[in-house]
Amino acid sequence: MKGPLFYSKILLFGEYGIIKDSRGLSIPYNFFKGALKKSKNLRGAALKSNENLKRFAEHLETVQEDESIEVAFDLELLRSDLAEGMYFDSSIPQGYGVGSSGALVAAIYDRYAIGKITILENLTRDKLLKLKGIFGRMESYFHGKSSGLDPLNSYLSLPILINSQDNIESTSIPSQHTEGKGAVFLLDSGIVGETAPMVQIFMEKMKQEGFRQVLKDQFIRYTDACVEDFISGNVKSLFGNIKQLSHVVLDHFKPMIPKEFHHLWKQGIETNAYYLKLCGSGGGGYILGFTEDLSKARKALKGHRLEVVYNF
């Protein structure tokens, strides 16, 4: 048995903001992927995955008992596959903000959900919301509360536009200019980030009136503008708004930026060689970068590995 591939994702815009109804844009990232496989002699990461999936199967039992979520799983088949050595074989780094648990959730839903919503159907907004709700409950096993967007992105393998929490749609993004000088890239912080503590910090900050005001007047405003610019291909306006967004994050989301990257963040804003933003919840993992001139950015970030995600 070798299941279909499920890809990692990148939330280009919307981290933290989508909790408070900003817009967001999430795209599949095919560089990393995972699939369900079986092995008769499990060891190392495969054995760990198999054991974790056994606990996850127990969680799925509680998910299908939840009357607010309409989903049922073939748990008998899941348990028998696990007894035969099934594991999730994945190249998606964990704690890096690129959706490692999302791909796993998508793979399990695809194989074991009874009467599943398939990607071949006419995916109405209601169906997308229903899937997002199911995936959110499934993924809550991994980090407390989940929006369900990562598994949705992985399952559909399409860019997803988040207009608000209950208004999402699949979308198309402008074609890449492979010869273009500009790029979106990933910068490896070399640190594993944990989602739950970062979200906790954000929730604590939300108790302050001043922070709530900044979130609404600046963070969400620039996030929404970036989403609009990216989708409509307005690159000049996009970089102006990303610079502002990068600034707001440096000023108000410092705990989410690994300390050793504070100066690089500031340097980007001051030199305009690149602009950095959070990729997922922050605290480690990848940092997202945007540049109008990739060779200039590489020079400025010498000694760091840059993975290009999209070319302008």
User: Lowest-pLDDT range, 36-40, 62-66, 165-169, 210-214?
Assistant: 165-169
H or E stretch at 37: strand 24-38
Please answer whether residues 95 and 193 qualify as being in contact, where contact means their C-beta atoms are separated by less than 8 angstroms.
yes
Domain 6-170 has CATH 3.30.70: no
Q: Give the tokens for residue 227.
A: 């989403």
Domain ranges in the chain are 6-170, 183-311
The pLDDT of residue 246 is 98
The string of pLDDT tens digits covering residues 155-177 is: 999 999 999 888 999 999 999 98
Q: C-alpha dihedral over 239, 240, 241, 244, to 10 degrees?
A: 120
The string of pLDDT tens digits covering residues 204-226 is: 999 999 999 999 999 999 999 99
The pLDDT of residue 119 is 85
The CATH number of the domain covering residues in 183-311: 3.30.70.890
What is the identity of the amino acid at 23?
Answer: R
- CA–CA distance, 288 with 221 (Å, rounded to integer): 19
